Amino acid sequence: MGASSDGTGVGPRKGMCVTLSENWKKLMETAEQYPEVFDASLALSSVGGDHEFLTELVGLAQAAWPTLLTDIRSGMAQGDLPAVQRAARLAKAAAHNVSAKRAYESALQLEAATSMGDLQAAQRASVDLEREVELLRVFLSVLGNDECSP
């Protein structure tokens, strides 16, 4: 069994603990290269520089994506554009809350296509949104990697 920081033999090994500030440092370094995916500076300034609060917002968005995308897929399969539009609006809000420009724009396109009743455009936009959300989720997963958490 590996060594632990508390001597119990379980949990993170000594020297392997990743803190929230280390996660933010990694994320900021990556985000500077890809602000269209996640604008960390804008996101952080939108919450007054509160890393913990932004981390909570990111966690809420990350938790919401699976349900939102399932609702969009289900609505598309049933041809229920009003349901897709509602889910797209919520996806747009989630993306906006974490300053995810590309995911926001994809959700906006999906919302617009559904409001015009354009099923083909909605299908394309839903595929784009899925791709952008997956990229964003991978990108933001570093914030959920706090190995010091109980």
pLDDT digits (tens, 9 = 90+) for 103-131: 999 999 999 999 999 999 999 999 999 99
pLDDT digits (tens, 9 = 90+) for 88-103: 999 999 999 999 999 9
Q: pTM for the full model?
A: 0.74
Per the listing, tokens 């939108």 go with 46
User: Region 16-20: what's the mean pLDDT?
Assistant: 46
Instruction: Answer for the pair 22, 12: CB distance below 8 angstroms, yes or no.
Output: no
Short-list 139, 147, 144, 143, CA closest to 32: 139
- Which class would CATH give 20-143? mainly alpha
Task: Write down the domain spans for the chain.
Answer: 20-143
Asked if the model's pLDDT at residue 17 lies above 80, the reply is no
**Which two three-digit tokens encode residue 93?**
């809000």
Residue 34: what pLDDT?
A: 62
> How many Cα atoms occupy the beta-carbon half-sphere of 125 within 13 Å?
29
